[in-house]
């Protein structure tokens, strides 16, 4: 009798455990849903960063390096042969027309002559002193060179691939290593009619729009040349654009979900791309995290 009772109890326990395994999932709920239902209905939410479509003016530009030179540079010549005995104007000195620049002693062994004085033919800045005191000079030797201080210009070389954008009158902003943080303005006054076949470049000349006595011939300049203006264009951050099979898209952001939108793009300037069709100003677009998205995906916008 005891053996039959134990067997009966074992059978009952087995049936109870089996029933429990069948009904437990439906008895345990999360947010009002059964566990099984919650798992099957779970929707992934992706973290993204968004930006705004804006209407703005884009300024296309070229960046090149140049040298500051003086167009009115004049060589100061000795009128007699002899020995250079004095140089009154050092490199960088500002002189006026008629100032004494140097003296040459034409005396030879056994004879004495009055020294010959050399005067500045123009006002400006001494930009070259090629000879040392004691040097022997000939009539016509260059004693110094003087650059007109108010006649400075920038010379720069433009690569062949960019020359189609050049024209007289284009404006530029100029920065100089000598004056960190300051910006000067200039304008193209000359474009060379020929292309240098050796360097494949074309020379341009720019003049400062406002003179500054601190700027000297021989300085190095960094030139940002404004080549074309695109006013009032619809733009997006360039990083928002994705390309699939040659077609460009962005993910628009609407009510916590994204929508894949085809766009037609134009120029790109400083990480902003023109949108010719597909979006309007004020739309929100995904700029980071779009590589994980699909059309209609739910997203959470991060700061």
Burial of 19 (0-12, 13-18, 19+ CB in 10 A): exposed
> Rounded mean pLDDT of 83-94?
88
Nearest CA-CA partner of 65 in 228, 219, 229: 219
Question: In percent, how much of the chain has pLDDT > 70?
Answer: 85
pLDDT digits (tens, 9 = 90+) for 242-252: 999 999 999 99
pLDDT digits (tens, 9 = 90+) for 33-66: 333 344 335 678 889 999 999 999 999 999 999 9
pLDDT digits (tens, 9 = 90+) for 145-156: 888 766 789 999
pLDDT range class, residue 93, cuts 50, 70, 90: confident
DSSP letters spanning 235-268: EEEGGG-EEETTEEEEEEEETTEEEEEEEEEEEE
| pLDDT the model gives residue 226 | 95
Q: Where in the chain is the domain with CATH 2.40.50.100?
A: 73-147
| pLDDT the model gives residue 125 | 83
Positive or negative: CA dihedral 275, 276, 279, 282: positive
Q: Which residues pair with 188 in a beta bridge?
A: 206
Q: Where in the chain is the domain with CATH 2.40.30.170?
A: 61-69+151-229
| pLDDT the model gives residue 110 | 72
Record: fold of 45-58+231-301: 2.40.420
Residues in the chain: 303
pTM for the full model?
0.61
Written out in words, the top-level CATH class of the domain with range 73-147 is mainly beta
Record: fold of 61-69+151-229: Elongation Factor Tu (Ef-tu); domain 3 (2.40.30)
Given the DSSP bridges, would you call strands 220-237 and 242-244 parallel, antiparallel or unpaired?
unpaired
């Amino acid at each position: 009798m005891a053996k039959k009772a134990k067997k009966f109890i074992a059978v009952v326990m087995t049936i109870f455990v089996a029933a429990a395994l069948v009904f437990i999932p439906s008895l345990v709920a999360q947010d009002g849903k059964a566990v099984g239902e919650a798992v099957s209905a779970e929707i992934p939410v992706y973290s993204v960063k968004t930006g705004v479509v804006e209407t703005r003016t884009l300024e296309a530009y070229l960046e090149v390096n140049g040298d500051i030179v003086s167009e009115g540079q004049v060589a100061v010549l000795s009128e007699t042969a002899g020995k250079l005995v004095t140089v009154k104007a050092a490199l960088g000195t500002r002189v006026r027309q008629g100032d004494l620049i140097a003296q040459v002693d034409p005396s030879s062994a056994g004879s004495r002559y009055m020294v010959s004085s050399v005067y500045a033919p123009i006002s400006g800045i001494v930009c070259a002193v090629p000879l040392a005191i004691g040097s022997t000079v000939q009539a016509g030797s260059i004693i110094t060179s003087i650059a007109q201080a108010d006649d400075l210009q920038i010379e720069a070389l433009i690569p062949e691939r960019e020359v189609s954008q050049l024209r007289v009158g284009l404006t530029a902003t100029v920065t100089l290593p000598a004056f960190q943080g300051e910006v000067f303005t200039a304008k193209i006054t000359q474009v060379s009619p020929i292309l240098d076949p050796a360097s494949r470049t074309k020379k341009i000349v720019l003049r400062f729009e406002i003179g500054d006595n601190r700027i000297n011939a021989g300085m190095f300049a960094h030139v940002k040349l404004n080549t074309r203006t695109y006013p009032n264009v619809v733009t997006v951050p360039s990083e928002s654009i994705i390309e699939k099979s040659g077609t460009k898209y962005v993910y628009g952001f609407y009510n916590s979900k994204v929508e894949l939108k085809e766009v037609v793009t134009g120029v790109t300037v400083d990480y902003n791309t023109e949108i010719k069709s597909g979006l309007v100003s004020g739309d929100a677009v995904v700029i980071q995290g779009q590589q994980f998205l699909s059309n209609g995906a739910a997203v959470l916008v991060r700061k």
